[in-house]
Structure 1
Amino acid sequence: MNTLDAIAALPDGAITSPAARRNADAILGVLRAHLPAKGSVLEIASGSGEHAVVFVGALPGLDWTPSDPSADARNSIAVWGALAGASCLEAPLALDAADEATWPSRTYDAVFCANMTHISPWSATEGLMRLAGARLRRPGGLLLLYGPYREADRPLAQSNQAFDDSLRTRNPAWGLREREAVDALARTHGLAATRRVEMPANNLMLLFRRL
């Protein structure tokens, strides 16, 4: 989970992210409403691991598998999980959405990804959709994406425009994605857009179901 917010490393090796603390409750509300009471969830780009610990603690019927390509992030996830005594939190995977060789072989009831699509090349979003199409159980497996998006029928908030400009300055391959393009990409991998939820700070939660 990456928002480009300042993060701090704690003495025990964990990372703490202000963004994760700010938005965890709002995201949890959507997860609680739409995830099954029991099942398995794969989280892509888990970052510090603070989200995963909050969610698995509040949704004890779910086996939650975090992942991140960063070794520092995976260490932080493990530390937060140990501190919380989160027995349903699986060991973090070294998963890169764009690299199929790193994907797990098992299937999941849901895939969750926060704040990755805009802070990565488009190839990462393409990989995420391929992964969800291949690893979500059918029918009805759920993909949830959280973050800011551009929308053709709605003006872009000034804060999101400034964020987009900052991202593209840092890396021309980054930037807020067009929601319609994300929906179209999902369809090519057997995923139907089913719900758009407005979230605080001009973010969205996009829900897709495996057909």
Structure 2
Amino acid sequence: MVALVAILSATVYTADRNALPDSNSPAAKQTVKAQAAPTPASKPRQPAVRSPASFTRQMPFSEAIDILRNATKPPLNVVVLWNQIGSNAGVYRETPIGIDGVAGLRVGQYLDLLMVSLSAGASARLGYTVNQGVITISTTDALPAPKQVARVYDISDLVAPPARYFTAPIGFGGMGFGGPMMAPFGGYAGGFGAGYGLGAPYASTTYRR
């Protein structure tokens, strides 16, 4: 009985040992490589960026603000004073915006349309300001006054008196328009091309015998 058990054990061991594939065989290498190759991790799908043209009348105000915030790269810095507009204007996050999107408009135009639409049925007007890249939305009476920037320009050339240029006087005698006293000078200047005429000739007396 003991010998039979030993023979069966040896037979099973030999069968199992022969059943194992050779580690150096091509099939074994491909199996090991397939098991060792890591499966590529699937990247999470990024949500599609929605355009403000997707606005609908029943869209909540908070959703419209999120769309406007992500309409540019990098995103806009939009701050909504929800407590202020809720307690003073009756406009909340879930309030419908009441407008449909229009393709081709700029972000500033959409903001203007939102403020006009939401202010139509509110107890106070809504508005927004832009200061150092931050857009703040609230009721108009709670918004900070826009800062005035003083600019100085030099306008002295616009208010200065007209310039006076010195012109040397011109004697009319030198141009041949003088009387008998200036006639010689007129003839002299006229001969050199500086005058307009020759002037009167020298007075001469002819003696005849």
> Could you tell me the TM-score, scaled by structure 2's length?
0.22
